[in-house]
Amino acid sequence: MRPMPHPNAHGPHRGAVTLALTATLLLVTSLVALYTQRRLWFEQQASSNQVRSIRASELAQAGLDWALAQLNTPAQLADAPSCQSANNTVGAQLFRERYASPRAAQATTPRGLYPPADASAGCSLTEDGALQCSCPSPGQAVDMPNSQAGRFVVQFVAAADDPLAIDVLSTGHAEGGGGLAQVRQTLKLAHALVHPPAAAVLVGGNFQAAGPLRIINQDPVAQGVPLRAGGSVTTGADTVLQALSSVIEHDATLAQLRAADLSGERFFEVIAGRTLPSYLTDPMTTVIDASTCGTPTECGAALVASHRRGGQQFWLKAEVSLSPSTQLGSVERPVLIATPGRLNLSGDSTIRGMVIAGDLHIDDPAAGGTAVVGALVVRGDLVQGAGALSVSYDRTALGMAGGAPMGLLTPVPGTWRDQLAGY
């Protein structure tokens, strides 16, 4: 009888093979899992970097938008490094004055924007989305917390070959400083007035002066015309005209413009060289209407208060009476005051800039007087009482010629640039 094989004759060999195959499969599985884990880690890092990159880019763009809004805000700043408004503080600076430094023409430099060296400001974003901003004096560091929500810092530098433009460089920092992005754009000044008026005093209706009158216009750009009226001109004996030309009355163009424009909108557009909607939506324009004040005197006080806070451009939708000894405008901050209605001046008021009114009444007593340095434009009638009126034509007071730049800073198309940095 044939003997039966031992049951364990090949057992150890089969176990070794099984163990080797199992170990090999386990190794391959571990390598696959390790590779997958490593790939997931890289994808998470890439995704995190992408999020920080986008966030930093958005913060940098927010810095540009914030800087543009601040440069076009007619409000004085509190003492540095505060970015808060300072109401009725004598000598306080506008954001534009601190960081863009608009200047009138000097002996060796044209009028323009001259940002100081190391002029920068910035904001941190809090967890609830609020801004904590720092506006230090030029040359000082921007001091703000390193927020986990992110922050931005903006710098202001002079634009090449254009004194009426500046470059704004904004750097966005994502949470914890993990992301960085930079954007840059050029801003250029759009003048509040496109062209100067054609005379020191322009009147669409009649000009009636009972008191002393003095008009000066030695500017050949305005043809040296002291007074141009669509109606008649009546002056008293005490009238002094220092001009290159003579008074023009019954001007057909002015008379027709007044007759065809009952609202005053077209008259404003012809004189200012811009549409009324663009002026009203200009962030530099302050509107004073019935919601601001109840009486002409209160509206006059509101106008003066707004000017003291830094306002330069105004649209008056209510009748306004200026109190005695009112002073509006300066060499650094000339004003543009426009109204379709009536403006009343009295008591030694002084205005440096341009006035565009529907009707103008000067109610000075015999001992008082009103002085305007710039230009005076009236769509209807100008009535001067017993007090004196002095008008000196000056294009620098209109934000033109060599005067301090006045107007809206707007982005120049095609100048936006971005630059992303590593992590």
| 44-58, 212-226, 357-371: which is most confident | 212-226
Please state, in angstroms and rounded to a whole number, the distance separating the CA atoms of residues 48 and 188.
37
Q: Is the CB of residue 352 less than 8 Å from the CB of residue 331?
A: yes
Tokens found for residue 147: 């927020």
Please state, in angstroms and rounded to a whole number, the distance separating the CA atoms of residues 92 and 140.
18
Please state whether 88 falls in left (phi above 0), alpha (psi between -120 and 50) or beta. Answer: left
Q: What are residue 29's phi and psi, to 5 degrees?
A: -60, -40
Choose between 263 and 153: higher pLDDT.
Answer: 153
Choose between 5 and 59: higher pLDDT.
Answer: 59
Please state, in angstroms and rounded to a whole number, the distance separating the CA atoms of residues 258 and 252.
10
Residue-range domain boundaries for the chain: 59-192+407-420, 201-398
Place of tokens 């914890």: 176
* Tens of pLDDT, residues 307-330: 988 899 999 998 898 888 889 998
* Tens of pLDDT, residues 275-312: 999 999 999 999 999 888 989 999 999 999 999 888 99
Look at residues 370, 362, 405, 94 and name the one whose alpha carbon lies nearest to residue 210: 362
pLDDT above 90 covers what percent of the chain?
A: 49
Residue 177: pLDDT band by 50, 70, 90 thresholds?
Answer: low
Q: What are residue 157's phi and psi, to 5 degrees?
A: -135, 155
Question: Does this model's pTM top 0.95?
Answer: no
